[in-house]
Structure 1
């Protein structure tokens, strides 16, 4: 597998936006911070790059007047984020559709956790309104982050980038919430801060991958159980028809099981290794031999009990299947 290296300097995902407020970030160890208090906005931000393809960041920005924020996306990225209500409101204008939205009760009113993929590359304009707090605590991933994981752990992280735009199950959402709550600037600045942040982010991604894999297996198992049920119900229906002296065809079985003929045939073949049509013919002929073994029944009566309209039709079908006529078979086996 060839790893896709980051074509984008990850700072391009946030630096141009901060510059529009006059906010510049400067490095203090592994953490970069900045504050602003001017005629455009008040607030502060901090970021910690974890790798060339992943950063954690947090910002608190309050515009002093209504404005449009120009957001430029050089390449798609995935994100999990705790956001304030104004931040959430402006996402659609930036071409972002939040997924896995979960309201929180935190220090800021109407905060929520969400995930998303920003794949509208290019420039988007988002309206910001004076006096509203635009807060976000986030982890951002470029696609190359998951390429690296897939290279190190083949098959374990396939499709995880795309999962940020899809519904998650409760355990994955809980892992995201827990991780975001553990991201804070004070902890990032302490000894081992970078290793700590990297560890909780990798744990979060691992939990997401585990949840996706578990529920994929559950869906596959459920599908298998449904398929087995269809095959079992089809065979039971055929046996009941034979008991009643009726011939049941594939179309009738499909209709009574509320499925299509093609799905029924494919499922039956996959679960039994035998086509449904072959199964019906085989069981009908096996039942014919059971009846022929009863010398009290005439050939005509056997044909009738198997649902053949005429004895000649039964004789022809039996000879075609076994290579001998019903009369000959009976004479050889009774």
Structure 2
């Protein structure tokens, strides 16, 4: 005989909305317990039912979204959700919908789904039909980016902060098409999307800082774009990577005035990023920038070494110290005799593949 739990799951498939909803209210708590595998039964039919219930009223949908978000830790479930273009479009439409009460839950779900490579389906989707007057682009990623930037601290939707979109961006930027998006100037506003995220490297929200740090790092695998990203009149990425690394330590006057303007004359109580994982990712970004001769010379001429030196002295975390040492070895090594070029990098496919393969060990 089926257990009580199995019977409840069966009720998710009931044609009567009231019965489905009562069953879900009793089941939602199981999605964080070892018994959550009940949602995988019958070839994951409960997941299909939950995708339908998620389109119900916001109050009812909340429980369905909670279960889906919790269950998306399973690779199989992530794939089911990411490969369903209709459901993926529904999730994104709901995030961008004005005053959607569950917008943050949809953001969490999208962030989980994005861990599956099938998130590449996002590039097949057209813009939401539920147009938000604050979203001017017809591009899905542009709309999500504007929600993230304009919607911080519930400035766009009183029910949502959109913080978890940072992790969705981080995973989307793992994909070549995603990286290309973040480093390419967009037609609708003439801005490189990555430049919109840089301000959040020092934001007072660890979720945003962590997701943005990973998005920056992943985007830097687009090696030919390093010149544009470092250009002080374009994206100007370097100060935003260095500010989280800077602490209260004093540099010599010569060292201080080599730094980018944004890092000169910092207050004596300046505190560096307190999350060691985020620190590590930022230094890994510096290593990636140092994968080209142009990037290494640029960082040498902008006082990066002394700042990393002080970080290495101040931090006891082995992972952070190890990547700092790797950066120092890279930046202090003798260069080949050829002069660095200030023109756009011309990296052959073979050379780029060789460098990226080495860097992916980060």
TM range (shorter): under 0.3
Larger radius of gyration: 1
Where relative contact order (Cα < 8 A, 6+ residues apart) is larger, the structure is 1
**TM-score, scaled to structure 1:** 0.23
1 or 2, which has the higher helix percentage?
Answer: 2
1 or 2, which has the higher strand percentage?
Answer: 1
